[in-house]
Amino acid sequence: MDITKKAKEEIESRLDKIEDFIAKKGIGSTYLQKAQKTQRDINLVLVLGGILTVAGIVLWMKTKDSEE
């Protein structure tokens, strides 16, 4: 049982290495890298937008409460 589990992990590790190599050096790798960078940038903008929205709502609620 232990041998099969170890063999399975080794095969999965090798497949991951091959997939990473193909992603870095294969056909379309530059497009993939650009797409990953764009996705990262979009995620950062969404997170920052969410933080600013929450901060704006909190400030609005504070000023609304202090007026009353």
| pLDDT tens readout for residues 17-63 | 998 888 888 787 888 889 999 999 999 999 999 999 999 999 999 99
The answer to whether the beta carbons of residues 18 and 12 sit under 8 Å apart is no
**According to the model, what pLDDT value does residue 11 have?**
94
**According to the model, what pLDDT value does residue 68 have?**
62
Complete DSSP assignment for 1-67? -HHHHHHHHHHHHHHHHHHHHHHHHSTTHHHHHHHHHHHHHHHHHHHHHHHHHHHHHHHHHHHHHHH
Rounded to an integer, what distance in angstroms lies between the CA atom of residue 41 and that of residue 64? 34
Name the band, by pLDDT with cuts 50, 70 and 90, for residue 8: very high
Whole-model pTM above 0.75?
no
The residues spanned by each domain of the chain are: 2-67
* Residues written for the chain: 68
